């Protein structure tokens, strides 16, 4: 009650008894000033994200374009040889682009079925006692730092790959795909669960009433009904896989090969930057920024699909 | 009931069910394997000496004290800067903004920030903070880079929590003559404190695990840094140090030890986030 009274007095809704009118006015003026200031402060906070995106885009373009101009768009994007430290340096990033695409595609191919099945299990089929621990476990996967995945990949997965397939070194595209598939699992699972939970129960009840078994209902009614949400999860997963650097650099072998086989050592767009940025100078360094620009364009396309393509689809 | 189904449907049912259970258990087994593997390999390498010494190549001493401290420094300053910014942005979106188009632009850019890979944050942070603004390769440059990176996390969780504050609270205060900032300060923000705390915890988790954005902004120095001056120097956090030890020095004893420390931190952070989220849900109900 006292709080309320104080509030009233503070807001100046009622003249507090015994105060001089001049003081009252001053107080109101002061309060209006505070209100206006806070309004501006919150507005500025809101604009930080906008300014950051603008700044990042500007810097990416400004630092990425010079090398592309020097090297030539076609030679840069479609050149098959990256030899940045050779006497006659060549800067073709097609191997990186294709490796990134192959790695991401492979991770999606492996991760999506497992993730979707896990989501279906957690959303519809799991007994209560199992849903808790498995859900928590999947959430934990999202929190594990990428360098820890990288270390596990380097010391356990890579030797295992080389043993199983009889390779001299197991650091190859396949190892990167396996690590990425695990890393994108949590985003696919959590987004798919949300989508599956949002399927109207009438759809499922109708299917059950028509004689379909629960399993048939989940696969033939729930999943199709939730497909736009599931697709969002897949696109999020693609974004994570394309952008991952540290885990990939530790398992992919980092040779600028074309990804012609699962067992070749490859370099992704991200790892090409991370590997050479530490010591690069001159045109080589500029070319690394150009690689980042290409990566940035990929990510912005994925973002646009997420924000416009999929959301628009949901509203329809 | 199942016995009456035709064979084809029975096979489909059994196969589909089997696949789903198998996938779920594969996920569970994977997490268990990762946890056990890291802890079994890492914990035997951890000792009081390792946790409290500064690494030295000449004296052949392994230690991760500087990396622990750097991680604490980076988390502290980043949260200190990003918290007011992120909460402020969320308050603006939820309480102040009137222009729907502007709201959409801010929300779109926030989503965009969340999708940008950390290696790009590292590069832009290097260009903007280390070079253009002249902070060099330092913990400060690293912190500022991370501020932009974790901003979406804080904005989103705060916004969600602001939305759970009943509209009638605001209307009641408005009816009593309170003004906007007064309402935000005394009613809205205290009511959504647990959401803000959750956002903080999630952000700390991301900062602790980040490496690509810090490698070129905060650098990889292994010296012990103390005091405010630490922010002007280059230093590796735990995650960056793990990468350096594993990929560049092939010193896997230390790498596994750091991995175990990181994993324990992640476990703690995860359970704290769960706890605050639970209180948030309880209040909703």
Shared domain check, B103 and B32: no
From chain A, pick out residues whose CB is under 8 angstroms from the CB of B247: 150, 154, 249-250
Domain boundaries, chain A: 2-71, 77-315
Q: Which residues of A touch B22 (CB under 8 A)?
A: 117
Cβ–Cβ contact A110 with B under 8 A: no
CB A290 within 8 A of CB B107: no
Write a three-state SS string for chain B: CHHHCCHHHHHHHHHHHHHHHHHHHHHHHHHHHHHHHHHHHHHHHCCHHHHHCCCECCCCECCCHHHHHHHHHHHHHHHHHHHHHHHHHHHHHHHHCCCHHHHHHHHHHHHHHHHCCHHHHHHHHHHHHHHHCCCCCCHHHHHHHHHHHHHHHHHHHHHHHHHCCCHHHHHHHHHCCCCHHHHHHHHHHHHCHHHHHHHHHHHHHHHHHCCHHHHCCCCCCCCCCCCHHHHHCCCCCHHHHHHHHHHHCCCHHHHHHHHHHHHHHHHHHHHHHHHHHHHHHHHHC
Which residues 6+ apart lie within 8 Å of B5 measured at CB?
Answer: A213, B13
Cβ-proximal residues to B76 (8 Å cutoff; 6+ apart), any chain:
none
Q: Do B117 and A55 touch (CB under 8 A)?
A: no
Question: What was the pLDDT predicted at B281?
Answer: 65
Tokens of B184: 């935000």
Taking the C-alpha atoms of residue A137 and residue A141, their distance in angstroms, rounded to an integer, is 7
Torsion angle of the four alpha carbons B11, B15, B16, B20, in this order, in degrees rounded to the nearest 10: 160
- pLDDT of B280 reads 66
- Determine the distance in angstroms separating the CA of B204 from the nearest CA of chain A, rounded to an integer: 11
Does B73 share its domain with B117? yes
Q: The domain containing residue B171 runs over which residues?
A: 48-284
Provide the CA B248 distance to its chain's centre, in angstroms: 25
Dist. CA B184–CA B190, nearest whole Å: 8
List CB contacts of B87: < 8 A, sequence separation 6 or more: A45, B154, B158, B189, B196
Alpha-carbon span B160 to B195, nearest angstrom: 7
In angstroms, what is the C-alpha Rg of chain B?
A: 24
Please state at what angle helix B118-125 crosses helix A269-276, rounded to 10 degrees. Answer: 40
- Which chain B residues have a beta carbon less than 8 Å from that of A45? 84-89, 91-92
**Are B23 and A117 inside 8 Å of each other by CB?**
yes
Q: Under an 8 A CB cutoff, do A243 and B117 touch?
A: yes
Q: Looking at the structure, tell me whether residues B34 and B54 fall in a common domain.
A: no
Asked if pLDDT for residue B110 goes beyond 70, the answer is yes
CB atoms within 10 A of CB A120: 27
Number of domains within chain B:
2
What rounded mean pLDDT belongs to chain B? Answer: 91
The CATH number that applies at residue B134 is: 1.10.3720.10
Residue B40 sits in the same domain as residue B141:
no
Hey, are the CB atoms on B23 and A46 less than 8 Å from each other? no
Label residue B47 left, alpha or beta by phi (over 0 means left) and psi (-120 to 50 means alpha): beta
Per the structure block, which two tokens stand in for A235?
Answer: 């696109």
Same domain? For B59 and B107 the reply is: yes
Residues contacting A265, CB < 8 A, separation 6+:
A169, A171, A172, A173, A252, A253, A254, A255, A257
Q: Contact B187/B165 with Cβ under 8 angstroms?
A: yes
- Please report which confidence band the pLDDT of residue B57 belongs to, taking 50, 70 and 90 as the band edges: confident
Question: If pLDDT is split at 50, 70 and 90, which confidence band does B277 have?
Answer: confident
pLDDT (mean) for A239-253? 94
At residue A308, does pLDDT exceed 90? Answer: no
Question: How many interface pairs between A and B have CB atoms less than 8 angstroms apart?
Answer: 268
Q: Which of A40-44, A235-239, A312-316, B129-133 comes out lowest in average pLDDT?
A: A312-316
Mean pLDDT within B94-104: 92
Instruction: List phi, psi (to 5°) of B132.
Output: -60, -45
Q: What are the structure tokens assigned to A39, written together?
A: 């309004």
On the question of pLDDT at B230 being above 90, the answer is no
What is the average pLDDT value for chain A, to the nearest integer? 89
B37 and B147: one domain?
no
> Which residue is it, tokens 């290097």?
B126
Gap between the Cα atoms of B40 and B94, Å rounded? 47
Mean pLDDT of A55-67: 95
pLDDT (0 to 100) of residue A13: 46
Picking from B20, B85, B97, the nearest residue to A121 by CB comes out as: B20
Q: Looking at domain A77-315, which of 1.10.630.10, 3.40.50.300, 1.10.40.60, 1.10.3720.10 is its CATH number?
A: 1.10.3720.10
Contact B233, B221 (CB under 8 A): yes
A71 lies within 8 A of chain B by CB? no
Does residue B104 sit at the A interface (CB-CB below 8 Å)? no
Q: Is the pLDDT of residue B56 over 90?
A: no
pLDDT over 80 (residue B284): no
Domain boundary among B45, B63, B78: B45
- Which pLDDT band holds residue A316 (cuts at 50, 70, 90)? very low
Q: What is the rounded radius of gyration, in angstroms, for the C-alpha atoms of chain A?
A: 27
Same domain, B22 and B137: no
Q: For A11-37, write each residue's pLDDT tens digit.
A: 444 444 455 678 888 988 888 899 999
- Residues A148, B38: C-beta atoms closer than 8 Å: yes
- Give B 204-263 residues with CB within 8 A of chain A: 205, 208-212, 215-216, 239-240, 242-243, 246-247, 252, 255-256, 259, 262-263
Tens of pLDDT, residue by residue over A94-144, are 999 999 999 999 999 999 999 999 999 999 998 888 888 888 889 899 999
In which band, very low, low, confident or very high, does the pLDDT at B282 lie, cut at 50, 70 and 90?
low
> What Cα–Cα distance (Å) separates residue A284 from each residue in A96, A201, A280, B53?
15, 57, 6, 38
Average pLDDT in the A224-232 region?
A: 92
Contact call for residues B214 and B239 (beta carbons, < 8 A): yes
- Report the pLDDT value the prediction gives residue A133, as an integer from 0 to 100: 86
Q: What percent of chain A has pLDDT over 70?
A: 91
Do B140 and B239 lie in one domain? The reply is yes
Residues A250-267 have a mean pLDDT of 92
Interface of B with A in 179-208 (CB under 8 A): 179-182, 184, 186, 205, 208
Interfacial A residues in 74-103 facing B (CB < 8 Å)? none
pLDDT higher than 90, residue B37: yes
pLDDT bracket for residue A312 (50, 70, 90) = very low
Tokens of A162: 């080389």
Does the pLDDT at position B137 exceed 50?
Answer: yes
- Taking the CA of residue B68 and the nearest CA in chain A, the distance in Å comes to 15
């Amino acid at each position: 009650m006292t709080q309320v009274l104080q509030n009233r007095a503070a807001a100046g809704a009622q003249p507090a008894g015994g105060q001089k009118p001049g003081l009252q006015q001053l107080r109101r003026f002061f309060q209006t000033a505070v209100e206006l200031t806070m309004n501006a402060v919150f507005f500025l906070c809101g604009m930080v994200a906008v300014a950051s995106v603008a700044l990042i885009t500007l810097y990416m373009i400004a630092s990425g374009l010079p090398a592309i101009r020097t090297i030539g768009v076609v030679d840069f994007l479609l050149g098959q040889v990256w030899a940045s430290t050779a006497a006659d340096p060549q800067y073709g990033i097609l191997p990186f682009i294709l490796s990134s695409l192959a790695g991401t595609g492979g991770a999606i191919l492996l991760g999506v079925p497992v993730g979707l099945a896990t989501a279906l299990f957690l959303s519809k089929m799991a007994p209560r006692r199992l849903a808790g621990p498995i859900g928590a476990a999947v959430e934990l996967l999202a929190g594990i730092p990428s360098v820890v995945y990288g270390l596990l990949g380097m010391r356990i997965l890579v030797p295992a790959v080389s043993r199983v397939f009889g390779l001299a070194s197991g650091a190859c595209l396949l190892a990167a795909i396996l690590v990425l598939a695990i890393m994108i699992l949590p985003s696919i699972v959590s987004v798919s669960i949300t989508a599956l939970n949002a399927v109207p129960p009438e759809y499922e009840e109708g299917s059950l009433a028509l004689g379909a078994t629960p399993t048939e209902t989940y696969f033939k009614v729930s999943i199709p009904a939730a497909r736009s949400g599931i697709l969002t999860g897949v696109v999020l997963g693609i974004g994570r896989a394309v952008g991952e650097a540290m885990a990939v650099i530790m398992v992919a072998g980092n040779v600028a090969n074309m990804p012609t086989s699962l067992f070749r050592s490859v370099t992704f767009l991200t790892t090409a930057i991370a590997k050479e940025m530490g010591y690069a100078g001159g045109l080589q360094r500029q070319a690394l920024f150009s690689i980042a620009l290409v990566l940035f364009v990929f990510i912005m396309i994925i973002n646009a699909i997420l924000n416009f393509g999929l959301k628009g689809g949901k509203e329809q | 009931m199942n016995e009456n189904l035709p064979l084809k449907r029975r096979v489909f049912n059994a196969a589909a069910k089997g696949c789903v259970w198998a996938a779920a258990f594969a996920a569970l087994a994977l997490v268990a394997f990762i946890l056990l593997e890291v802890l079994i390999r890492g914990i035997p390498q951890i000792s009081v000496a390792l946790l409290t010494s500064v690494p030295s190549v000449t004296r052949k001493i392994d230690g991760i004290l500087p990396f622990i401290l750097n991680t604490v420094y980076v988390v502290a300053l980043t949260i200190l800067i990003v918290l007011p910014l992120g909460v402020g942005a969320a308050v603006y979106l939820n309480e102040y903004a009137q222009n729907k188009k502007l709201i959409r632009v801010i929300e779109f850019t926030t989503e965009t920030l969340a999708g940008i890979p950390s290696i790009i944050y590292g590069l832009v942070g290097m260009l903007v903070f280390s070079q253009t603004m002249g902070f060099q390769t330092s913990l400060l440059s690293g912190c500022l880079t991370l501020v932009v990176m974790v901003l979406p996390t804080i904005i989103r969780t705060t916004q969600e929590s602001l939305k759970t504050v009943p509209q009638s609270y605001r209307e009641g205060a408005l009816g009593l003559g309170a003004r906007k900032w007064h309402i935000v300060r005394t009613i809205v923000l205290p009511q959504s404190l647990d959401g803000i705390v959750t956002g903080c915890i999630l952000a700390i988790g991301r900062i602790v695990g980040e490496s690509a954005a810090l490698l070129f902004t905060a650098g990889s120095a292994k010296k012990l840094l103390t005091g405010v001056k630490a922010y002007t120097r280059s230093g590796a956090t735990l995650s960056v140090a793990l990468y350096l030890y594993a990929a560049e020095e092939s010193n896997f004893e230390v790498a596994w030890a750091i991995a175990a420390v990181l994993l324990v931190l992640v476990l703690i952070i995860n359970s704290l986030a769960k706890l605050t989220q639970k209180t948030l849900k309880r209040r909703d109900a």
